[in-house]
Amino acid sequence: MSGKVPMTREGYLKLTAELDRMKRVERQKAIQDIAVARGHGDITENAEYDAAKERQSFVEGRIREIENRLANAQVIDTKNLPSDRIVFGAKVRLSDIDSGGEVSYRLVGEDEADVKQGLISVTSPLGQALIGRELNETVQVRAPGGVREYEILDIRYEE
């Protein structure tokens, strides 16, 4: 991965906590599971041993992945950003012009995106359409179901 990847402070803390848990809890559990499986005798045909080694491989891979993400993270402090324009970290409330329904999203880095939690990536079609826009502007977004149009009702920055 080259270059820094923007990340909210909240996203950084979440990854740091996961890394700590993976190193302190999951890694140790994998080591213990391997030791227990070894205690059952011949490891050449030991499904429990194979499963424990596979779990250890997963844990170590996830640790490397998180360490890489954290090493490449550029934490953006959103507390002091002006609220007149949408930039990374903004929480926006939108009105769907066609349906009249309202939705709220926070613009975050790709690693943090989770639409079910209201977190969309700044690189998503909607994220890209919103960046740089102001209150009461209308944006059009190409979606799988066709073009959607939204009005920006509110822009906030919070930690």
Residues 104 and 68 grouped into a single domain: no
Q: Which ranges in 22-83 belong to alpha helices (H)?
A: 27-38, 47-71
Q: State residue 1's pLDDT score.
A: 43
Q: State residue 2's pLDDT score.
A: 54
Asked whether residue 83 is assigned to any structural domain, the reply reads no
CATH number at residue 48: 1.10.287.180
CATH number at residue 141: 3.10.50.30
Distance, CA of 130 to CA of 88 (rounded, Å): 10
List of the chain residues with pLDDT < 50: 1
Residue 151: name the closest of 78, 99, 113, 106 by CA. Answer: 99
Long-range contacts of 114-118 (CB under 8 A, 24+ apart): none
Q: State residue 32's pLDDT score.
A: 95
Q: State residue 94's pLDDT score.
A: 96
Residues 51 and 106 grouped into a single domain: no
Measured from the Cβ of residue 26, the count of other Cβ atoms closer than 10 Å reads 18
Residues 11 and 65 grouped into a single domain: yes
Whether the model clears a pTM of 0.85, i.e. scores above it, the answer is no
Asked whether residue 81 is assigned to any structural domain, the reply reads no
Q: At what angle do helices 47-71 and 9-21 cross, to 10 degrees?
A: 150
